[in-house]
Structure 1
């Protein structure tokens, strides 16, 4: 479109002068008037950038935001223009001083929000002290590194602003978490666990605070963790902000601007609570622009679930989940390409995102997709697994297996909900698929029927002679069952020469986190069960997370199998080996 970069940059000035309110005639006159200094020190580009954050990003940060032959930038979407406008109004205009955006993963909230806003605010000295807060310190440090590299290497900024960051001059602070600029402004990045209160640069408290992915998974996991996170912020921010200076009813200096950018993770998570505050102005975006609706029976229907289970997408889904077809994924993609124009749907960032990619992500884990992409926390508590791939047991046994193990999760309480022990004989096939050759919920309470519990393991070891590894959860018996199994194996003429390795490890990882790792593999049919083991697979399909499920034995032991089988090795010793450790 443009012959060279200079022509492109001139067009940007021409376009954005009109966007900020100048007529075409006034725009041309201004460009002619400043023709000797369009892009130089405090030239026309500098002046226009002060009036428009969007122009600042598209010209001064063009290597990041403007698609060119020598970069990987994607065309910006309307949502990005709106983010920049809201931030500009909050920092220098009449907008609310506490604004937030709930955005889908992959929208570029850190680049378009945190990164762009911070650089703009400090280049023009709109803000003196910016505090960037994120869930962990390494993320905070990355923000500082990216901002530092931009100020040191960006030729457009240095030409128009001069040298704003001098990392060689020891008079200025320049380290992994703090940057002090030659225009006497300061940026600091901290983790959400660090206090905001008490921080100052000279006499200035932070006058721009950005909460970018301010919460971690640990902050969301339990009710007490969520409450602790909210209380810490509420108590902390009161003593961290700079109050507005008002004289004779007129604001002489704006107070601290707070910007919150994140993703909803729970109905009572930090961002869910923040957006309900009357003093904050929030906007919630969803990635797929399909709305819920009420049907003829006056029932509320999730629009996304309905869309992806009707019409051409229903046909696509049937092909995708036909696990008897080894080429089900390739065939589903081919079906999409044959009907591509008819299978398009509106996306928040249509200039960059792909309908096929997002549909596949939805089918892999609908609940996670609705949370991460649709900002829909109502889906929390829904069933995690939408399908279970099955074959007849005799069909499964026709495959060639590379590794085989037995995984056991003992039931050990007197409660009615814990009277089943889960046993799973699983193998890795030479086709790289995982097979639960026998998965059962045996009505054995390991604490009251200990011998029967051990005996069932022996029975399975004899039935499946390929088993070389047994995993037993250690939390229940602290190794006593593993020791008894070892003794039983050594007393059995057939088993004692099998070199069976017993792994007996405590579960320390959150169970929901562990089970969530197998969702995409389950929904893509990469873990296959026997049709006969219906009770077991039914429990998997009913799982909604620990908090919302009566039973979790089947999905838990399946996750152990799926995550461990890749690392199974045969021991060289002829005696059973017990491995104790922490998982």
Structure 2
């Protein structure tokens, strides 16, 4: 791709958007060209300088401001990785511009797929524009956690300070060396007496002021975290936080003689739906908000599309687990039929049909939620394919590490009637194997000795086991201590140097299990075909909230994530010293 010189590019941007500012008002193409050429000629001595024509145009055009003054972010160049804009970005900028300086809605929202650039296009550029021209005096950005908030401040600072395009047209808008101005990890004060602050969603908004001015632009950028969506209680808490705090941090419009002479606070929200009743799902239904929702793949039904025609053939090649080159062969099939396998996507200038399809095949449920905004997919089965081999086939491999994972059942409810045992190994072919998956009808609290003795049986059955993992949550180490005692007393096992890992599980189970979904769906985690009950329960998993029994998925994920971290015990052998002489 050939890139124009800076001078040519900048003059084209100025001409194009100046002309567009005329055509947007309804002026004909010919008249717009004449007016544009006249205006450029009149300002020929100061096109890009201090308060020159570019500065004046940027004041009324957010898109021009971003593409010219912040061109290192948004404009494709030889030395950056920017992609051409999509229609969704141009539309977003237009709507933001209308809300801030036009007659647009005071509460504007978007639900967009992950990877669309919500923060870059919805928060970073518009914030810089709003404070540079003092369209807004106090911009408050709120995101799920503090580190994200701090990153917003850093990005704004990095792109506004020592920016040659901005300094030429505005002068010095940010002076981090002048102690008269606030400049820290969460706050920036500009030389034109405007202020940007970024906070986490747990911080209160009410009562915040800058020079006796309340925030007049509030941006809720990924305002909710996964934890905020996990339970009904968490979702209610998040909505109450918004209702009791955010709405009351707004500045009311100033009216005189029945006319609005100063707009009130503009409230904007960008995010992704994570549940049918999450914050963004509720906000999108609120009548006082102007919301739009976009999906990444522009087809009616991604399940039907990716499971028919050429994409079904692609899927069958990809899931041929007996073929070690299945991924390369599937890609080769795609490239041979590339023209016929294209489909409409939201950001075709940046996204790729093949990469999106592979994301779908790895985890369809996650894809439909994250890319398609389909909250109805929550509750679907997570695992779409399970590669199996017979126990005889599995045992023919050369294993490098082996461990036993145990999840004791201790309660009396329907979800607590299985104690799950799994023997897992890594092999020298790079795959991981569930050599034995067992759901024993043992209630560990009521049948404690039986529960521990079954571990002993499995250790004897599989001599290559070097590590045993038992979660500490249930018995607080009593079962691990009992196992250790029995190992020391056992005539055979006391020589095995078996390592017992007994740790409390603090990580969310859904988060843990979600990490193994692509590996299972790609056939890189292989199960034993004889373990039907274990396999069936494993494949039924559709999230902790929607799954009756999650024992099989839980121990499988625990094994998969731990096996690479363990080191086999060093075995010291003694021999007769006389053999040395």
* Band of TM-score, shorter chain: over 0.9
* 328-337 vs 400-409, which moves further: 328-337
* 17-26 vs 43-52, which moves further: 17-26
User: Aligned to 1:367, which of 365, 368, 386?
Assistant: 365
Q: CA deviation at 1:450?
A: 2.3
Q: CA deviation at 1:451?
A: 2.4
Structure 2 match to 1:410: 408
Contact 1:381 1:545 in 2 (8 A): yes
With normalisation by structure 2, the TM-score equals: 0.95
- Quickly say closer, same or farther: Cα 1:6–1:482, change in 2 above 3 A: same
1:211 aligns with 2:223: no
SS in 1 for 2:248: coil
Structure 2 match to 1:333: 331
SS in 1 for 2:501: strand
Contact 2:138 2:216 in 1 (8 A): yes
* 74-83 vs 502-511, which moves further: 502-511
Structure 1 match to 2:265: 256
Q: CA deviation at 1:175?
A: 1.1
User: Aligned to 2:281, which of 266, 272, 276?
Assistant: 272
Contact 1:77 1:350 in 2 (8 A): yes
CA offsets 1:549-572 (integer angstroms, 9 cap, x no match): 110000001011111111122345
C-alpha distance in 2 between matches for 1:467 and 1:543: 27
1:400 aligns with 2:398: yes
The size of the alignment, in residue pairs, is 563
Q: CA deviation at 1:207?
A: 0.1
1:131 aligns with 2:154: no
1:17 aligns with 2:15: no
* 347-356 vs 539-548, which moves further: 539-548
Structure 2 match to 1:54: 63
C-alpha distance in 2 between matches for 1:5 and 1:506: 58
Structure 2 match to 1:388: 386
C-alpha distance in 1 between matches for 2:230 and 2:46: 56
C-alpha distance in 1 between matches for 2:208 and 2:453: 64
C-alpha distance in 1 between matches for 2:447 and 2:180: 74
Moved over 3 A (4+): 571-574
User: Aligned to 1:65, which of 66, 69, 74?
Assistant: 74
C-alpha distance in 2 between matches for 1:2 and 1:566: 46
User: Aligned to 2:177, which of 165, 168, 178?
Assistant: 168
Structure 1 match to 2:341: 343
Q: CA deviation at 1:114?
A: 0.2
Structure 2 match to 1:517: 515
Q: CA deviation at 1:51?
A: 1.6
- Quickly say closer, same or farther: Cα 1:366–1:497, change in 2 above 3 A: same
C-alpha distance in 2 between matches for 1:218 and 1:460: 37
- Quickly say closer, same or farther: Cα 1:317–1:501, change in 2 above 3 A: same
CA offsets 1:434-489 (integer angstroms, 9 cap, x no match): 10001111222222322222222111111110001011122222222222222222
SS in 1 for 2:494: coil
C-alpha distance in 2 between matches for 1:116 and 1:315: 43
C-alpha distance in 1 between matches for 2:571 and 2:324: 38
CA offsets 1:351-374 (integer angstroms, 9 cap, x no match): 110111111111111111111111
User: Aligned to 1:481, which of 474, 479, 482?
Assistant: 479
C-alpha distance in 2 between matches for 1:271 and 1:2: 40
C-alpha distance in 2 between matches for 1:174 and 1:488: 63
SS in 1 for 2:134: coil
- Quickly say closer, same or farther: Cα 1:315–1:236, change in 2 above 3 A: same
Unaligned runs of 5+ in 2: 24-31, 573-581
Q: Give the aligned CA root-mean-square deviation in angstroms.
A: 1.3
Q: CA deviation at 1:3?
A: 5.2
Alignment of 1:120-159 (within 5 A): 120-159=129-168
CA offsets 1:216-271 (integer angstroms, 9 cap, x no match): 11111111111111111111123311110111221100000011011111111111
Structure 2 match to 1:105: 114
- Quickly say closer, same or farther: Cα 1:233–1:534, change in 2 above 3 A: same
Structure 1 match to 2:576: none
Structure 1 match to 2:577: none
C-alpha distance in 2 between matches for 1:513 and 1:256: 37
- Quickly say closer, same or farther: Cα 1:447–1:334, change in 2 above 3 A: same
C-alpha distance in 2 between matches for 1:499 and 1:424: 20
Structure 2 match to 1:530: 528
Structure 1 match to 2:192: 183
Q: CA deviation at 1:97?
A: 0.6
Q: CA deviation at 1:87?
A: 0.2
SS in 1 for 2:208: coil
C-alpha distance in 1 between matches for 2:198 and 2:492: 63
CA offsets 1:525-583 (integer angstroms, 9 cap, x no match): 11100111111111111111111111000000101111111112234589xxxxxxxxx
C-alpha distance in 2 between matches for 1:566 and 1:486: 23
Structure 2 match to 1:353: 351
CA offsets 1:173-195 (integer angstroms, 9 cap, x no match): 11111111111111111111111
C-alpha distance in 2 between matches for 1:401 and 1:560: 18
C-alpha distance in 2 between matches for 1:218 and 1:153: 39
CA offsets 1:98-123 (integer angstroms, 9 cap, x no match): 00011111111111110010000011
Unaligned runs of 5+ in 1: 292-302, 575-583
Contact 1:499 1:570 in 2 (8 A): no
1:548 aligns with 2:557: no
